[in-house]
């Protein structure tokens, strides 16, 4: 099979050929960055930040823990709110809609400040890490809610009526008709939202949570080695987001079937 292979959209390619193309693309990008840094004659000082390697590791582990907890929390909130937005009770639907519009219409930075310094104080929540997880869960939950709602409403009315005609209960309709088809539609945007959530956790540094970004900023302030601090930061986030993207692609293939 030729190396320069043109495929139709959606076509599958063997893992070995795909890995070869990814490796080539990576080498090209690495070469471009190397040439760019050579042009500015930048002198790397990796030894300056090596002393703080444990600080980077601890910050990365905190980011992993916060992101994982927020992923679970936001998924539960999003799924529940998506169902609430389809509720036959208008007050429930109105509250769910208001939650989505407020979260999506305001910056996460403002939400963090208001929730932590106002709402958390009023509720006597002093644990910054717990507050950070709740904030991220509520923020991402609004977007996940819209993703799930759109996936559910993308199922044709004909199929829902057919499910009702053969005697399926609402729960059985969701289990056997709606969910299997909705998952296929929502996985790509859901993966993007999960990746965004992990990167958005960096904003928690403004409330002094010792996560990956804040620790990198602290090391930068101590060593004045900006690139040496932020390049490991970007690699650390890639280590989290790339496996997540690969996992969701595998799920897409698992749930892929002819419509």
What pLDDT sits at residue 259?
45
What fold is seen in the domain 48-152+166-255?
MetI-like fold (1.10.3720)
What's the pLDDT tens digit per position in 150-159? 888 887 778 7
Question: Domain-by-domain residue ranges, the chain?
Answer: 48-152+166-255
Helical spans, DSSP H, in the chain: 15-39, 46-50, 53-85, 90-105, 108-114, 120-122, 128-153, 157-165, 170-173, 179-200, 212-223, 226-255
Pull the structure tokens for residue 86.
């389809």
Task: Spell out the residues 6+ positions from residue 173 whose beta carbon is closer than 8 angstroms to its own.
Answer: 160, 163, 164
Query: pTM of the full predicted structure?
Result: 0.82
What's the pLDDT tens digit per position in 88-101? 899 999 999 999 99
Residues in the chain with pLDDT < 50?
1, 3, 258-259
């Amino acid at each position: 099979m030729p190396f320069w292979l043109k495929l139709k959209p959606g076509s599958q390619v063997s893992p070995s050929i795909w890995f070869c193309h990814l490796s080539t693309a990576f080498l090209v990008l690495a070469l471009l960055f190397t040439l760019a840094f050579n042009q500015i004659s930048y002198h790397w000082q990796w030894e300056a930040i090596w002393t703080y390697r444990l600080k980077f590791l601890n910050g990365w582990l905190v980011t992993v823990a916060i992101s994982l907890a927020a992923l679970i929390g936001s998924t539960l909130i999003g799924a529940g709110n998506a169902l609430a937005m389809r509720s036959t009770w208008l007050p429930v639907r109105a509250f769910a809609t208001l939650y989505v519009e407020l979260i999506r219409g305001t910056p996460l930075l403002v939400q963090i400040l208001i929730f932590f310094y106002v709402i958390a104080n009023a509720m006597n929540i002093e644990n910054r890490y717990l507050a950070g997880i709740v904030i991220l869960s509520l923020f991402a939950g609004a977007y996940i809610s819209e993703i799930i709602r759109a996936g559910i409403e993308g199922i044709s009315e004909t199929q829902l009526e057919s499910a009702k005609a053969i005697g399926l209960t609402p729960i059985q309709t969701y289990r056997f008709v709606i969910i299997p088809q909705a998952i296929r539609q929502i996985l790509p945007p859901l993966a993007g939202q999960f990746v965004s959530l992990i990167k958005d956790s960096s904003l928690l540094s403004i409330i002094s949570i010792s996560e990956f970004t804040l620790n990198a900023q602290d090391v930068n302030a101590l060593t004045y080695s900006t690139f040496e601090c932020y390049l490991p930061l970007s690699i650390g986030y890639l280590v989290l987001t790339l496996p997540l993207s690969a996992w969701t692609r595998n799920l897409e293939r698992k749930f892929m079937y002819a419509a």
